């Protein structure tokens, strides 16, 4: 009898172990990246459908009525010579039948106030639930990813926490009728997510939880900082930054009740960059004068894609932080903290150690998808796929990539410090591009503003903390931005005169 009990316990343990094996690589794609110039332009056909288990198209928006709103019809829809992004995105399932496609709603630029006000009203939540189901049916997505940044923050209200949980419950009840997936992208740090979420309810209603374990530091601070450290550096011990790392965030989410099997660890395929004041001070927590120069592809000050970072390695000093278990790099007065193949593998080791649900990347368009750095195409995603052991219909085994395989243990090394890594490529580091226009130069009102001098260029403008911020876009060759239709149109159909509110 005792033997039977021991065998039964062993079998239950084995089943539990198998069930909790990481089995997801969730990949976000931003529809707007088709507007990037040159080798930075990324289209849906650049996505490898066999690298990811789930791909998420970003973003749609929310109308105050509760309906889902398409933000860029020319990119997303086939109407009026549009690019039919939704249709082409979901066509990837023909290549990989195991692939699941989701649509993400929200994002940083959508803000929080509109979501707070809309989802506080039960009737509007009901409208949203119906609109979501109709949208998934119409465009053939397999699920919805909620990216409300963030409940009870950025102008939200305390009741957002409960209203968000109610929304998830209402969505899940309806989604289960059709087999749709329900997920969310959520804040990472304990000081943030405890303001926004009832964690046990998220664990109950969501199929999995995409934790954005990146953007822990950036140019909004006055010192250099690592974008996505795996562990805490001793320099941050006892400070307000002590919880700003992947390990602290993941452990906090599980402490508050998130099931490990639903926790998806985020990996940024980009870095946060700074302009440093003293070129002899190149470690984390060195003083800065502002964001780093915009990259040639991403063209956003304070941020560089990995496809830009790896091209810069030859002319830069690349360092490894033994405590945080991530690299950083400097050249001239520029500094960037990021993830590379070595740190990506260490993060998969962490996922396996704690039996998490898998990994997530933001976003596919900033990996070295052309293979320009001599490490093969999509080197970071390839490491994540290989180390997670992802296999799907039609999947081929990725080409091996040589990476450092030290076990990070349970935290920083006993003799913490930084070690310099040799660089072998010969591509020169990027230099600062010409100054970008200020928001007041290009933003006359919220929404899409056309460039006053170039009809092929336009900006999406929004107000944050009383000031304009914007993202720049360019129409395809031979097209001008049409402010009336909010699409890129033929020049013959566009009045190329200054835009007014």
Confidence category of residue 318, pLDDT binned at 50, 70, 90: very high
Residue 110 or 406, more confident: 110
Backbone angles phi, psi at 39, to 5 degrees: -70, -5
What confidence score (pLDDT) does residue 102 get? 99
CA distance 422 to 319: 9
Backbone angles phi, psi at 343, to 5 degrees: -70, -30
Q: What is the mean pLDDT of residues 212-217?
A: 98
Q: Token pair for residue 474?
A: 């360019």
**pLDDT surpassing 70 at residue 430:** no
The percentage of residues in the chain with a pLDDT greater than 90, rounded to a whole number, is 73
**pLDDT surpassing 60 at residue 249:** yes
Residue 116 or 497, more confident: 116
Confidence category of residue 416, pLDDT binned at 50, 70, 90: very low
Q: Token pair for residue 104?
A: 């993400």
CA atoms within 13 A on the CB side of 1: 0
**pLDDT surpassing 70 at residue 321:** yes
What confidence score (pLDDT) does residue 465 get? 66
pLDDT in tens, 48-62: 999 999 999 999 999
What confidence score (pLDDT) does residue 20 get? 61
CA distance 213 to 266: 5
What confidence score (pLDDT) does residue 350 get? 98
Mean pLDDT value across the chain? 87
DSSP helix/strand/coil, 109: helix
**pLDDT surpassing 90 at residue 137:** yes
pLDDT in tens, 328-371: 999 999 999 999 999 999 999 999 999 999 999 999 999 999 99
Q: How far is CA 182 from CA 116, 132, 136, 210, 487, in A?
A: 19, 11, 11, 11, 30
Residue 476 or 198, more confident: 198
pTM across the whole model = 0.78
- DSSP character at residue 26: E
**pLDDT surpassing 80 at residue 393:** no
In 3D space, the residue among 443, 441, 437 whose CA is nearest the CA of residue 468 turns out to be 443
CB atoms within 10 A of CB 131: 17
Backbone angles phi, psi at 232, to 5 degrees: -75, 135
CA distance 180 to 213: 26
Length of the chain: 501
Start-end of H helices in 20-99 = 73-76, 85-90, 92-95
Please pick, among 67, 110, 149, 474, the residue that the annotation labels catalytic: 149
**pLDDT surpassing 80 at residue 427:** no
pLDDT in tens, 225-246: 999 999 999 999 999 999 999 9
pLDDT in tens, 443-499: 888 788 898 888 888 887 877 667 887 777 778 767 788 887 777 777 878 888 755
Q: Is 190 a catalytic residue?
A: no
What confidence score (pLDDT) does residue 238 get? 94
Q: What is the mean pLDDT of residues 300-311?
A: 97
**pLDDT surpassing 50 at residue 417:** no
In 3D space, the residue among 298, 312, 307, 302 whose CA is nearest the CA of residue 274 turns out to be 302
Residue ranges of the domains in the chain?
21-270+341-398, 439-493
For domain 21-270+341-398, the question of CATH label 3.20.20.80 is answered with: yes
What confidence score (pLDDT) does residue 154 get? 97
Q: Which residue has the tokens 């490491």?
A: 383
């Amino acid at each position: 009898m005792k033997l039977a009990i021991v065998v039964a316990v062993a079998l239950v343990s084995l089943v539990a172990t198998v069930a909790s094996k990481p089995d997801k690589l969730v990949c976000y794609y931003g529809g707007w990246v088709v507007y990037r110039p040159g080798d930075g332009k990324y289209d849906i056909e650049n996505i490898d459908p066999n690298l990811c288990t789930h791909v998420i198209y970003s973003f749609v928006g929310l109308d105050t009525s509760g309906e889902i709103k398409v933000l860029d019809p020319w990119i997303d829809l086939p109407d009026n010579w549009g690019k039919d992004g939704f249709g082409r995105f979901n066509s990837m399932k023909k290549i990989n039948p195991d692939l699941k496609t989701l649509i993400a709603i929200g994002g940083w630029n959508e803000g929080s106030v509109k979501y707070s006000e809309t989802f506080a009203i039960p009737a509007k939540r009901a409208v949203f639930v119906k609109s979501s189901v109709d949208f998934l049916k119409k465009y053939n997505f397999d699920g919805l990813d909620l990216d409300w940044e963030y409940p009870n923050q950025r102008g939200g209200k305390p009741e957002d926490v409960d209203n968000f949980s109610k929304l998830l419950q209402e969505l899940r009840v309806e989604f289960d009728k059709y087999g749709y997936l329900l997920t969310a992208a959520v804040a990472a740090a304990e000081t943030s997510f405890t303001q926004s979420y009832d964690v046990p309810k998220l664990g109950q209603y969501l199929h999995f939880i995409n934790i954005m374990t990146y953007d822990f530091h950036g140019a909004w601070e006055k010192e250099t900082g690592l974008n996505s450290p795996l562990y805490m550096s001793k320099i941050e011990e006892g400070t307000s930054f002590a919880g700003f790392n992947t390990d602290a965030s993941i452990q906090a989410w599980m402490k508050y009740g998130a099931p490990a099997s639903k926790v998806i660890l985020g990996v940024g395929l980009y870095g946060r960059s700074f302009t440093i004041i003293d070129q002899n001070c190149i470690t984390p927590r060195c003083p800065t004068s502002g964001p780093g120069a915009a990259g040639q592809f991403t063209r956003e000050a304070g941020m560089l894609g990995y496809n830009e970072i790896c091209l810069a390695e030859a002319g830069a000093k690349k360092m490894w932080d033994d405590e945080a278990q991530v690299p950083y790099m400097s050249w001239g007065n520029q500094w960037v903290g990021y993830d590379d193949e070595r740190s990506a593998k260490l993060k998969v080791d962490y996922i396996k150690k704690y039996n998490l649900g898998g990994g997530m990347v933001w976003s596919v368009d900033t990996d070295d998808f052309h293979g320009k750095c001599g490490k093969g195409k999509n080197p970071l995603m390839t490491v994540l796929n290989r180390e997670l052991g992802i296999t799907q219909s039609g999947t081929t085994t990725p080409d091996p990539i040589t990476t450092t395989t030290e076990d990070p243990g349970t935290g920083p090394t006993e003799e913490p410090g930084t070690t310099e890594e040799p660089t072998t490529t010969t591509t020169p580091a990027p230099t600062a591009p010409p100054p970008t226009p200020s928001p007041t130069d290009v933003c006359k009102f919220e929404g899409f503003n056309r460039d006053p001098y170039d009809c092929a260029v336009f900006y999406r403008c929004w107000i944050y903390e009383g000031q304009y911020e914007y993202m720049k876009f360019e129409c395809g060759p031979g097209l001008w931005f049409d402010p009336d239709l909010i699409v890129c149109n033929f020049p013959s159909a566009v009045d190329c005169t200054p835009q007014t509110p």
